[in-house]
Amino acid sequence: MTITARRLYTDIGSIEFPVITVGEDGTIADINSDPVALVQEQDTLTAAFVDIHTHGAVGHDVMSASAADLSAMQRFIASRGVAQYLPTTVTAPISATLRSLEALADAIERSPEEGEAQPIGIHLEGPFLSHAKRGVHPTEELQPPSIELFERFQQAAYGHIRLVTIAPEPAAIPEGAGSMMPDIYRRSSAYELIEHCAKAGVRVSLGHTNASASETLIAIKSGATSATHSFNAMRALNHREPGVLGVVFDEDNIYAELICDGVHVAPAMVRLWWKAKGRDRGILVTDSMSAAGMRDGEYMLGQFPVVVADGRALLAEDLARGKETLAGSVLTMDRAVAMFQQFTGADLSDATRLASHNPAAMLGLRERTRLAVGSPANINRFDGEGRLIQTYLRGRRVRM
C-alpha cells in the first residue's frame, strides 16, 4: 500500500508531498515525493507515539491485567496514536510486583495483534522512592535501594525492565515503612543502584524525590538520564536550593517527562519546562491509569482505589480525609500533544517529537521511531487543523 500527504516529519527533517510505500512485512519499502499528484493534499504525517509512562486505560490496570485486558488497552491507546509503550508499575508488595512483572514480560514476548500498540519494555516506578514525595505510593511498601531486589525484579521480568524511577537521596525511613523487605536483599545506596542499572543498559529516571541539587548531580554522574513527571512529586524549585528540578532544567543532556493535561502542571510551568528542555530533551507522557477512556467513577491504580471526576484522578483514601492527592491521570497522548501546542504555541513537528522520537532516544531505541526505508510503518496522520485523524501500525490502519 502507499501512504501520501502534504508533508512528512521525520526525526531528522521533513519531506514535502511524501509517497510512502509499505511492504507486506509492514516496513517502509520506499519514500518518494510527488508534488504534482499531491498538490491538493493538506494532511501531515509523523511518527506514531511512544508512551513510556502509563499504568492503564479503559478499565484495565497493568498491575493486574490479563492478556485480554492488555489487548483491550493496547487497542485503545493505538486509537490515540500510540504505537509502542512501557507498561508502568506502581509500588506494591514485593510478591505482587513479581507476579505483575512476569505477566507483563509474557505480554512483551507475545506479538501484538493487528491494531494494538506494542509493549517494548517495563517502567518500574517504585519501590525505590522517597517517603517524603511518595504521592500515592504506599509508605509501607516503599523499599530502600537494593541491587539484589532490583535484580530479582529484573529476573521476574525476563530482563524486560527498560526504565526505573529512583529517588537518589538517602531519605529517612518512617518507622514500620519498608519493613517487608526480606533479609536476603541487601541494601545499597541509591547511587550504587543507579550505576548498576546504567551499566546494565536500564535507563534511570529521577522521581518521587526530595533530592537536593548536589544529590541530583551525583545521581546524574552515576548514570541517571531523565526525570519522572517533572514538577510532580519533587522538591519544589527554590532560588537558593534548586533541588532536582533546577539541576534537571539546567543540565542540557538530561531528559524530563511532563504530564500535559492542564491538571498536573499549570500552563506557565509547561512553558518554563519547554524553554528549559526544548525539542530534544522534553518527553510527553500520559501517566494514565485505568480510568483513561472511561466515565467518571471509582477505579483502581495498583492496589488502591481512585476517584475520577472532571478530568482529575484522586486517591480515594486521602479524598475521604479532605486531602486531594493526584493518582495518575486520564490523559491520552493525542490530547497531551494538542494541549502542549495550546499552552506553548509549539508547532506540530516539535510537539509530536516530544511524544515519539525523544522517548525512543532516551531509551536508546532511536530506530523505533525512525521513518526511513526498512523502518516499521508506524505513522500518525494529522489534518490541516492539527487533529489526529488516523494511525497506521506496521502499515495498517488502526480503528479510531
pLDDT for 46 equals: 98
Spell 3-23 as b/e; 16+ CB within 10 A means b: bbbbbbbbbeeebebbbbebe
More confident: 179 or 235 = 235
Is there a cis peptide before residue 87, judged by omega within 30 degrees of 0? no
Give the whole-angstrom CA distance, residue 4 versus residue 339: 26
- Three-state secondary structure readout of the chain: CEEECCEEECCCCEEECEEEEECCCCEEEEEEECCCCCCCCCCEEEECEEEEEECEECCEECCCCCHHHHHHHHHHHHCCCEEEEEEECCCCCHHHHHHHHHHHHHHHHCCCCCCCCEECCEEEECCCCCCCCCCCCCHHHCCCCCHHHHHHHHHHCCCCEEEEEECCCCCCCCCCCCCCCCCCCCCCCHHHHHHHHHHCCCEEEECCECCCHHHHHHHHHHCCCEECCCCCCECCCCCCCCHHHHHHHHCCCCCEEEECCCCCCCHHHHHHHHHHHHHHHEEEECCECCCCCCCCEEEEECCEEEEEECCEEEEHHHHHCCCCCECCECCCHHHHHHHHHHHHCCCHHHHHHHCCHHHHHHCCCHHHCCCCCCCECCEEEECCCCCEEEEEECCEECCC
Assess whether pLDDT exceeds 90 at residue 174.
no
CB atoms within 10 A of CB 27: 16
Which CATH number characterizes residue 314's domain?
3.20.20.140
Question: Amino acid identity of 83?
Answer: A
Residue 41 within a domain = no
Read off the pLDDT of each residue in 362-375 and give the average, rounded to a whole number.
97
Confidence band for 273, pLDDT divided at 50, 70 and 90: very high
Read off the pLDDT of each residue in 284-292 and give the average, rounded to a whole number.
98
pLDDT for 180 equals: 56
Cβ–Cβ under 8 Å, residues 190 and 167: yes
Residue 94 within a domain = yes
Read off the pLDDT of each residue in 192-209 and give the average, rounded to a whole number.
98
Q: Among 170-184, 297-311, 353-367, whose mean pLDDT is lowest?
A: 170-184
> What are the angstrom distances between the C-alpha of 117 and each of 75, 107, 321?
6, 11, 38
The chain-wide mean pLDDT, for the chain, equals 95
pLDDT for 287 equals: 98
Read off the pLDDT of each residue in 35-43 and give the average, rounded to a whole number.
96
Assess whether pLDDT exceeds 80 at residue 338.
yes
Q: Which domain holds residue 355?
A: 49-368
Residue 395 within a domain = no
Confidence band for 176, pLDDT divided at 50, 70 and 90: low
Read off the pLDDT of each residue in 195-211 and give the average, rounded to a whole number.
98
pLDDT for 184 equals: 77
Residue 79 within a domain = yes
CB atoms within 10 A of CB 253: 8
Read off the pLDDT of each residue in 163-175 and give the average, rounded to a whole number.
82
Q: What is the pLDDT of residues 344-368, one digit of tens each?
A: 999 999 999 999 999 999 999 999 9
Assess whether pLDDT exceeds 60 at residue 249.
yes
Q: Which grid coordinates belong to 301?
A: 491504580
User: Which residues, including other chains, have CB under 8 Å from residue 110's CB and lie 6 or more apart?
Assistant: 67
Q: How many residues does the chain have?
A: 400
Give the whole-angstrom CA distance, residue 206 versus residue 211: 9
More confident: 179 or 89 = 89
Cβ–Cβ under 8 Å, residues 97 and 107: no
For the entire predicted model, the pTM comes to: 0.96
Show which residues are catalytic.
Answer: 287
Question: Amino acid identity of 165?
Answer: T
Give the whole-angstrom CA distance, residue 52 versus residue 362: 10
Q: Which grid coordinates belong to 308?
A: 475520577
Assess whether pLDDT exceeds 70 at residue 175.
no
Confidence band for 387, pLDDT divided at 50, 70 and 90: very high
Q: What is the pLDDT of residues 141-162, one digit of tens each?
A: 999 999 999 999 999 999 999 9
Cβ–Cβ under 8 Å, residues 119 and 70: yes
Residue 308 within a domain = yes
pLDDT for 169 equals: 94
Give the whole-angstrom CA distance, residue 383 versus residue 81: 14
Give the whole-angstrom CA distance, residue 194 versus residue 115: 36
Question: Amino acid identity of 15?
Answer: I
Residue 134 within a domain = yes
Residue 216 within a domain = yes
User: Which residues, including other chains, have CB under 8 Å from residue 36's CB and lie 6 or more apart?
Assistant: none
Q: What is the pLDDT of residues 81-133, one digit of tens each?
A: 999 999 999 999 999 999 999 999 999 999 999 999 999 999 999 999 999 99
How many structural domains compose the chain? 1
Cell 537494593 locates to 146
Residue 22 within a domain = no
Closest-CA residue to 262 (of 188, 318, 339, 201): 339
Q: What is the pLDDT of residues 48-64, one digit of tens each?
A: 999 999 999 999 999 99
Assess whether pLDDT exceeds 70 at residue 179.
no
